[in-house]
Amino acid sequence: MTKKLSDLICVLIAALPGRAELLQAELSIFGMD
């Protein structure tokens, strides 16, 4: 029950406007061959 409630809260928080997130990252890497 507690787990379900916390999952629900996470979903609701994620749906709030104003949330921000990393969409894409292009990582240059030295030493990769």
Partner 1 sequence: MTCAHIVDVALRKVSGVESVEVSLNKGLAIVKLKPGNTVSVPQLWELLHQKGYTPKATSVLVRGDLVNFEGRPQLSVSGTEETLELVSDPKNASAYGDVSKKVGQTVVVQGVMMPAKDFKIRVPLQVIQVK
Q: Which residues bind partner 1 (CB under 8 A)?
A: 14, 17-33
Compute the distance between CA of residue 26 and CA of residue 23 in angstroms, rounded to an integer. Answer: 10
3 or 19: whose CB is closer to partner 1? 19
2 or 28: whose CB is closer to partner 1? 28
Instruction: List the structure tokens of 14.
Output: 């994620």
In the complex, least distance from residue 7 CB atom to partner 1, rounded to whole angstroms: 12
Residue entry with tokens 């609701």: 12
Compute the distance between CA of residue 26 and CA of residue 7 in angstroms, rounded to an integer. Answer: 31
4 or 31: whose CB is closer to partner 1? 31
